[in-house]
C-alpha cells in the first residue's frame, strides 16, 4: 500500500490536450491499457529519456520523431515495454505511430510512442490495432485520471496532479500524470510521465524548464537503484491560455517554473510513496558538503544500501548501517570527526561522536514512523543535495519474483 498517497481527487483539463483510453488487451484483461493523447496544432513539446543503453524501440523512435516534426499525438501502452525486441520491435513501434496518424489526420513523424511493461516480448499488434481506434474515438479533455490509471503496471495508485498559477492577468493550468513503482533510479527511473500546460513557451525554453525541473525531482528518486529501458518524461505547452513566457528570469517566468517544479516533485515523490512493497517514505538530506557531487554521492550511497533499506523496513534503529553507507561513498573530502547525523529530530552523531542524548527507545520511535528524514551534516562546505527513497520489504521481492507469472 502506498505511503501517504491517495488517488487524485480532481484534475484540471488543459485546453488543447485531449486523451482517449482503450481496453486493448495488450497484457491485462478487462482494464484500460492504451492511451492516445492529442495536442492542438501550434503546441510545443519537450522530453527527456532514459540513459539506459538497452533503450526500448519506442524511446529510440520518440527521440527521432521529436527532432523531426511538431508533435501532435502521443501513444502510450502498458503491459509490454517493446524493449530488446530487435527490428520487429522497431517496425511495430513505427506501425503503431502510423495507425494513430491515420486516425488523427497527422503525419506518423508527429506521433511519439511510449511503452511500459515486460521486456523482451513483441507487442501484440492485433491488440494495438484494435485499441487505437477505440481510444481516438474517446478523446476528451477531461480524461486525465482514466489515462493515469491506464498507464499503471505494478503501481497501486494512479499518480496525477494539477496546479494553477496566475501569470499577469491570465490563469495557467499545469496537469501531469506519471507511472512508476519499481526499477526506479535517476537518469531517469522506470517511469513514464506526461505533463501539459496551456501556457505558451518556445520549444527551447520548454526544454530548459524540463531539464531544470527533472534535476530537482525525477533525478532525485530511487527505489532499487535500477534504471529502466523505457523511461521518458514529456512536457507539452499548448498556448491556449494566451499567457506567453519568453524568459524564465522574468516574474511570470519564475512563477511558472516554480509551479512546474511543484508538479514534477509531487509526481516524482508519488512514485517513491508507491514504491513496490514500500512501507516507508524517506528523505535523505546531505548538507554542508564540499561540492554538490559529494553530497549527491553520499545521499545515493545511503539510499541504495540494501542494509539501510531493510533496517528501515524493520523499524530497526541500526544506525551503524547509515554510517557504513556514508563511509563507502567515493568522497575524498569526508572527515568523520566533523559529521553529525539526525533521524527526524533525534541526534545520532554529533561531530563524529555518539550523541549523549540518544537511546534505543528514541531511535525505535523515529524509525517506526511511515515518513522519515535522515539528515547528514558534513560541516566541510556549503553545498547540499537530497534524495527520496523507500524501504525494502518482503513484498518488493514477491512483486518482482511474480511479475511475469
Strand (E) or helix (H) holding 285 = strand 281-289
User: For the residues of 334-395, what is the DSSP string, one character each?
Assistant: --GGG-EEEETTEEEEETTEE-TT--HHHHHHHHTSSEEEEEEE--S-SEEEEEEEE---HH
Q: At what angle do helices 320-328 and 292-303 cross, to 10 degrees?
A: 130
Q: Nearest Cα to 239, choosing from 297, 180, 167, 176?
A: 167
d(CA 255, CA 241): 15
Of 153, 190, 227, 279, the active-site residue reads: 190
Q: Where are the alpha helices (DSSP H) in 34-155?
A: 57-66, 86-104, 125-137, 144-150
d(CA 328, CA 173): 44
d(CA 14, CA 103): 22
- Residue 265: Cβ within 10 Å count: 18
Paired residues of 222 in beta bridges: 389
C-alpha cell at 275: 514504491
The residue with cell 498507464 is 151
Q: Nearest Cα to 309, choosing from 386, 395, 231, 229?
A: 395
CA distances from 197 to 138, 172, 173, 194 (A): 21, 7, 6, 10
Annotated active-site residue 389? The verdict is no
DSSP character at residue 140: B
Task: Give me the sign of the Cα torsion angle 382, 207, 228, 280.
Answer: positive
Strand 111-118's sheet: what is its strand order?
Answer: 17-22, 34-39, 73-80, 111-118
Q: Which residues are catalytic?
A: 190
Amino acid at each position: 500500500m502506498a505511503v501517504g498517497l491517495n488517488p487524485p481527487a480532481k484534475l484540471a483539463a488543459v485546453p488543447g490536450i485531449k486523451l482517449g483510453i482503450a481496453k486493448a488487451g495488450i497484457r491485462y484483461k478487462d482494464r484500460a491499457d492504451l492511451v492516445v493523447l492529442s495536442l492542438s496544432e501550434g503546441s510545443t513539446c519537450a522530453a527527456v529519456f532514459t540513459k539506459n543503453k538497452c533503450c526500448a524501440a519506442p524511446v529510440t523512435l520518440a527521440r527521432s520523431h521529436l527532432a523531426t516534426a511538431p508533435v501532435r499525438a502521443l501513444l502510450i501502452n502498458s503491459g509490454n515495454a517493446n524493449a530488446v525486441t530487435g527490428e520487429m520491435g522497431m517496425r511495430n513501434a513505427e506501425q503503431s505511430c502510423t495507425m494513430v496518424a491515420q486516425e488523427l489526420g497527422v503525419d506518423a513523424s508527429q506521433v511519439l510512442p511510449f511503452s511500459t511493461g515486460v521486456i523482451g516480448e513483441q507487442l501484440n499488434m492485433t491488440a494495438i490495432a484494435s485499441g487505437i481506434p477505440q481510444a481516438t474515438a474517446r478523446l476528451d479533455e477531461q480524461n486525465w485520471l482514466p489515462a493515469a490509471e491506464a498507464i499503471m503496471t505494478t503501481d497501486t495508485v494512479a499518480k496525477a496532479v494539477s496546479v494553477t498559477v496566475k501569470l499577469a492577468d491570465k490563469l495557467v493550468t499545469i496537469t501531469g500524470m506519471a507511472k512508476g513503482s519499481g526499477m526506479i533510479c535517476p537518469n531517469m527511473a522506470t517511469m513514464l510521465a506526461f505533463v501539459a500546460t496551456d501556457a505558451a513557451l518556445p520549444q527551447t525554453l520548454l526544454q530548459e524548464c524540463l531539464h531544470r525541473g527533472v534535476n530537482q525531482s525525477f533525478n532525485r528518486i530511487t527505489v532499487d537503484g535500477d534504471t529502466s529501458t523505457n523511461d521518458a518524461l514529456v512536457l507539452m505547452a499548448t498556448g491556449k491560455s494566451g499567457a506567453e513566457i519568453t524568459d524564465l528570469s522574468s516574474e511570470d517566468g519564475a512563477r511558472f517554473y516554480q509551479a512546474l517544479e511543484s508538479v514534477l516533485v509531487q509526481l516524482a515523490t508519488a512514485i517513491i510513496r508507491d514504491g513496490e512493497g514500500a512501507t516507508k517514505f524517506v528523505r535523505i538530506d546531505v548538507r554542508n558538503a564540499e561540492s554538490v557531487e559529494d553530497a549527491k554521492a553520499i545521499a545515493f550511497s545511503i539510499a541504495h544500501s540494501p542494509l539501510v533499506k531493510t533496517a528501515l523496513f524493520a523499524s530497526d534503529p541500526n544506525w551503524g548501517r547509515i554510517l557504513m553507507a556514508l563511509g563507502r561513498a567515493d568522497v575524498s573530502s569526508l572527515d568523520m570527526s566533523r559529521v553529525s547525523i539526525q533521524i527526524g529530530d533525534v541526534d545520532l552523531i554529533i561531530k563524529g561522536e555518539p550523541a549523549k542524548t540518544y537511546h534505543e527507545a528514541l531511535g525505535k520511535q523515529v524509525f517506526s514512523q511511515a515518513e522519515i528524514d535522515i539528515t547528514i551534516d558534513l560541516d566541510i562546505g556549503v553545498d547540499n543535495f537530497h534524495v527520496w527513497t523507500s524501504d525494502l520489504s518482503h513484498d518488493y521481492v514477491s512483486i518482482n519474483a511474480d511479475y511475469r507469472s
